[in-house]
Amino acid sequence: MNSAAPPGSTGIHALDVHFFSALLHHPSSSSSLRRGDVIEIQGPASSGKTHLLYELVSTCILPPNIFSIGTDGWDKIAIVFDTDDSFDVHRLSRLLQSRITQYLSRTASSLNTADSAKVTTVLTRILGKLRVFRPSSCFQLAASIANLSSHHATFLSTSEIGLVAIDSMSAFYWPDRFNIEQLRSMPQSSLVTAQTVTGAAASVPSLITSDPLNCVLAALHKFRMSHGPVTVLTNWGLNPSPNSTVKFQLFRQHLHSFPTVLPHDTDTVSASASHEFSNVCLPLTHHITLNFPPMVPYPADMVLPNTPQRDAHHCRRVEVGAQIVGLVRTNRSADVGTFCITITNDGVSIG
């Protein structure tokens, strides 16, 4: 990994405080993140994973100052692999506009027409630092990441890639499981035919037993070592963990090749054995778990004819202004941080 300057901080106070306290070594007192850090964001559907990613992407592509007003921006390229078709650039643009307006409001009580035009111009320039790719399979995702270095050299050679994100790592989980099981159930005669046609007898068994996710992790790790971006991976929360509490739901990892954060008392030998057993090549630095926002109960006096209207109103109350609780853990650290996310139409508040 090259030795360029660290990326910066997340701009999210609660996360930055935890990152600084949980890791002993930081190359800069102004950067809570280190080059090559890998962050997993796990949670059930509609728990705010993509909105948290919006905030991290915004910080990456924002300039360090706007109209002489300081920001938390890194002024770097952000690469997003949208495997779930849920990363909405229009939503990101709206959140960015709200964030820029907040910066400007520090020096002015209101924005006039000229200021609004300036914001639009700046916003267009900032969004030019975002690249979104939408692969349709796990192997296509791995190939796209493997070619990211060439893409950078050809189209983005004057800029640094500060963040690489995959939203979500679980998008191809069920198709991959099905395909692997289909290959493993192939009769021996089919394998012999495949060996004869391909002329590569040794490659067929490895194809059958291989996990496509390993190809993705290997490509990510190679790019991480050569370019040093912060890597953010969103992931589904499918299986409840026995370590969950009444107040907070944790999840077991359903992706068998996926890295995990190790307990703080794990010794070096055990850590090496754990990674060797799981065939992990991409080390995980931080793990963030998000929980469902609290559900508002239906009114006791609700009557059936009014259900559709009240149901729409109820869903809106849950989605807009609801508070999502996050828990953050760091590899081999005893520190556990918590934070809250409030999502509104015009912004995301994290504290």
Q: How far is Cα 173 from Cα 163, in angstroms, rounded to an integer?
A: 23
Q: Is the pTM above the cut of 0.85?
A: no
Q: What number of CA atoms fall less than 13 Å from residue 19's CA on the CB side?
A: 25
Domains annotated for the chain, with CATH where assigned, are: 42-110+118-182+208-263+280-290+308-350 (3.40.50.300)
Residues 9, 74 contacting (CB under 8 angstroms): no
Q: What is the pLDDT along the chain (351 residues), one digit of tens a residue?
A: 655 789 999 999 999 999 999 987 777 888 999 999 999 999 998 899 999 999 999 999 999 998 888 899 999 999 999 999 999 999 999 999 999 988 887 776 566 666 778 888 999 999 999 999 999 999 999 999 999 999 999 999 999 999 999 999 999 988 877 777 776 677 766 555 544 544 444 444 444 446 789 999 999 999 999 999 999 999 999 888 888 776 788 898 888 778 888 876 555 444 444 443 344 578 999 999 999 755 556 566 666 555 444 444 444 444 566 789 999 999 989 999 999 999 998 899 998
Q: Could you tell me how many residues make up the chain?
A: 351
Q: How far apart are CA 179 and CA 201, in angstroms?
A: 20
Site of tokens 């600084």? 20
Question: What span, in angstroms and rounded, lies between the C-alpha atoms of 53 and 234?
Answer: 8
